Structure 1
Amino acid sequence: MSSRPRHPARTILLGVLSAFGPMSMDMYLPALPEVASQLHTTSAAGQLTITSCIFGLAAGQIIVGPLSDRWGRKLPLLAGVGLFTLTSFLIPFTTSIWPLIILRLFQGIGGSAGQVLSRAVARDLFSGPQLGRFLGILMSINGIFPIIAPLLGGAVLSFTDWRGVFVILGAIGLILFLWTWWGLPETLPADRRTATGFAAFTQMSELFKDRPFMGYMLSQGFVYGALYVYISGSAFAFETVFHFSPQVFSIIYAINGAGMIVATQFAARGLNDQNGRKILGGSILTAAIASTLLLFGISQWPSGLLLAGGLVIIISLVGAVNTTATTLALGNEAQHAGAASALLGLGMNAIGGLMSPVVGLFGTRSSLPMVALIMVCEWIAFLLLVGLTRKTIR
């Protein structure tokens, strides 16, 4: 099967659907200090609005992914996008932190359908190196959103408050719902579906016993833990500690998003059946070493520019890790791509959700806790990858 998409519009749609995570968080990040101030709450409570969305993204995938192996991809996808749209339009009416946290949870559950099912659809259509290249295309489209989302969020904040960000997210959700309804066919034929939804959940339990799969899932999960530490802590680090404006922070965030696109493309183009594990291991090790050097440097010479420069390397490599780990993990799971994709999403979002609020517990007066947690996540990811896949990595 050719790796070149025959329907560019559908490829773009899948790429955008896979970006519900960046869309749900990155547009909102420049407003995070403002949310804490306007709702009269702490920075840690404000960061819980990120954490609840991440947990929603994780929990939703565990439900949607396996059920899509039974009912097909399109119906669960429409339900999820519809929920995302509804909650996005409700959030601007909140006046205190806890209703916002709860609605963000359901917003994440809705958005999870786009994340998990874009990967499952890709696996329905492709395999092997072709799958890797197609995922690279999707993740490059996905990677555009960390560039434009914070810039758009910063622009919105120049003429309105944080509530306007969610009005825009609701409008985007509505467009995606209609686009999916009219433009995306069902990719899982009836004869390839599981007999019941429970069969897919059983398959998930079997995947937990698969050491290489768990190695890819957990290493990717902890790399995403580092990413979500950065997502939760970077606005406070740059705006509160180093006194950068929300607009300058948005530009820095956009540069990191561009780096992820570049790393994604390099990984996808070099990916084949022999070197995928080497690319994955090398990317995680490089990020672990870079984060260690950044922690030492920032502790000796506190500087916003030094922090920004070090994070470019670390965050860019998330793109390479995402492409290779997803391709390797889904490679042997054609029949239960929904369940396998759900576990990958669980690893990324649950670990990210656990790490995200930790940085807030250390306060917002220093960037060191954020960098230290990123370093810890990267080294754990590398050790898990080597430990669980050591018989296959050379």
Structure 2
Amino acid sequence: MSSTPQSVATSSSKTASSSEEKKGLLSQPRSVWAVFFACIIAFMGLGLVDPILPAIAKQLHATPSQVSLLFTSYNAVMAVAMLITGAISSRLGIKWTLLTGIIIIALFSALGGFSNSIWSLVGLRGGWGLGNALFVATSLAAIVSLSNSGTAKAIILYEAAIGLGISVGPLLGGWLGGMSWRGPFLGVATLMVVAFIGLITLMPKANKKNTLKAKTSLLDPFRALKHRSLLVFGITASLYNFGFFTLLAYAPFVMGLDEHGLGFVFLGWGILLAITSVFMAPKLQQRFGTIKSMSVMLFLFALLLLVMGIWTSTQWVIIAAVILAGAMLGNNNTLITTAVMNAAPVERSTASAAYSFLRFIGGAIAPYLAGKLAEWYNPQVPFIVGAGFVFVSVLFIWINYKHVNHVDHAGSGH
């Protein structure tokens, strides 16, 4: 994938930003909307499972820490698989990498729907993570390369798809989960078939717009981490993901709500995440800069986790904090993704793979750790520990500020 979209070949000129402004976020080719729709469905899988975590624990006779392994296996496989996504997509091309990812997600989510033990379900979620890795890493590259509005707006569109998927997922999960915990798994499989049809129909055939020019080596993501800025953002994301996945995987167990109730809470969380990632984050970035805005959002998120840790037994506090956390996470996701894309002079797909590898390591450890901390100590400790990790991520950014502050000066059209 070339470092600038072909459709905006003049984006390096001084007049690029004004022309991109005229084109607007919504004037995209059909192929971009096909990937956008597929992204929504793929990211539904993240929030879809939330409302059914207590139901899975009850019906499969599992502890919260065992159920949290549904996130751990998913994220652990994603982390490792991210390292091979560049090598695969540079050989198969973006279109067929996306389609392969979709087939794997559909297969493993369908098998998950027929599973009868927590351990087989954990293993199948790992397979789902492999499909998601292929899809997620490549979908960002696809939207950026096929978009005609420039990198900054393409990233906003991508984050909007994530936000919509994460927000609709819990609502659908709560509705389907109200009938059976198997429903959400089979629902994802069905939706991924729809996404497959959309992509194979609307995405253009392999050409230099959606195929990487040079074959990527398996070592490229590790080489990319030699760039201090990319390493800093990856470690920062790994640290803040301890808080993010503590909230996602453990909060459902302390809210005392049924599948429908949990679905609505995480719907509110996801809506705030979607709105802030698209509308608020770019304004914060323009006014205060990427690094300062990111640090403030992470600090506020850490405070919310601390509040959840102090008032864990007060239901309305937990519900309000989860929903409000969506705003912090929506802003931060867009800010850090944009920063990563401008962090190092490497292919965007390679930068995304290297960053995602580190990010999902945190996402793999956090859910299981949260469940175990609650079992060893009490329900408050997971949130307090999660808050501690997020506070450390803010400190880590500022300790390394001189290595990352150049992203504030990177042009939005680059």
Structure 2 CA distance for partners of 1:273 and 1:259, relative to 1, 3 Å: closer
Say whether 1:142 aligns with 2:162.
yes
* Paired positions, count: 383
Residues 1:357 and 1:385: Cα distance change in structure 2 (over 3 Å):
same
Determine whether 1:15 maps to 2:39.
no
Deviation at 1:187, TM superposition (A): 7.5
> Mapping of 1:335-374 within 5 angstroms?
336-363=347-374, 367-374=379-386
Query: TM-score, normalising length from structure 2?
Result: 0.83
Counterpart-to-counterpart distance in 2, 1:276 and 1:337: 18
Cα distance in 1, alignment partners of residues 42 and 72 from structure 2 = 12
Letter in 1 for 2:208: P
Structure 1 partner of 2:328: 317
TM-score, normalised with respect to structure 1: 0.87
The structure 2 residue matched to 1:280, chosen from 294, 307, 310, is: 294
By how many angstroms is 1:382 displaced? Answer: 0.9
Structure 1: unaligned runs, 5 residues or longer = none
Confirm whether residue 330 of structure 1 aligns to residue 341 of structure 2: yes
Partner residue in 1 for 2:262:
249
Q: Is 1:292 the counterpart of 2:292 in the alignment?
A: no
Identify unmatched segments of 5+ residues in structure 2.
1-7, 9-19, 409-414
Question: Could you say if the C-alpha distance between residues 93 and 314 of structure 1 is closer, same or farther in structure 2, counting changes exceeding 3 Å?
Answer: closer
Separation in structure 1 between the aligned mates of residue 157 and residue 240 of structure 2, nearest angstrom? 20
Task: Give the corresponding residue for 2:101.
Answer: 80
Instruction: Write the distance in 1 (CA, Å) between the matches of 2:273 and 2:351.
Output: 24
The counterpart of 2:130, out of the listed 109, 117, 125, is 109
- Which secondary structure state, in structure 2, belongs to the residue aligned with residue 182 of structure 1? helix
Partner of 1:180: 199
CA deviation map 1:191-215 (0-9, x unaligned): 98354432xx333222211111112
2:139 is paired with a residue whose SS is helix
CA RMSD of aligned residues (A): 2.8
- 8 Å CA contact 2:294–2:335 kept in 1: the answer is yes
In structure 2, the partner of 1:268 is: 282
| Letter aligned with residue 389 of structure 2 | C
Partner residue of 1:209? 226
**Ranges of 4+ aligned residues in structure 1 off by more than 6 Å:** none
Question: How far has the Cα of 1:44 moved from its partner?
Answer: 1.6
Whether the aligned pair in 2 keeps the contact of 1:69 and 1:337 (CA below 8 Å) is no
Specify whether residues 315 and 119 from structure 1 end up closer, same or farther in structure 2 by C-alpha distance, changes over 3 A only.
same
Distance 1:190 1:139 in 2: 21
Shift of the 84–335 alpha-carbon distance from structure 1 to 2, 3 Å rule, reads: same
2: CA distance between counterparts of 1:161 and 1:366? 30
**Pairing partner for 1:45 from 46, 66, 70:** 66
Q: Deviations over 1:270-309 (max 9, x none)?
A: 435982222222222232344335534x16xx41111222
Counterpart contact for 2:56–2:67, Cα < 8 Å: yes
2:237 paired with 1:238: no
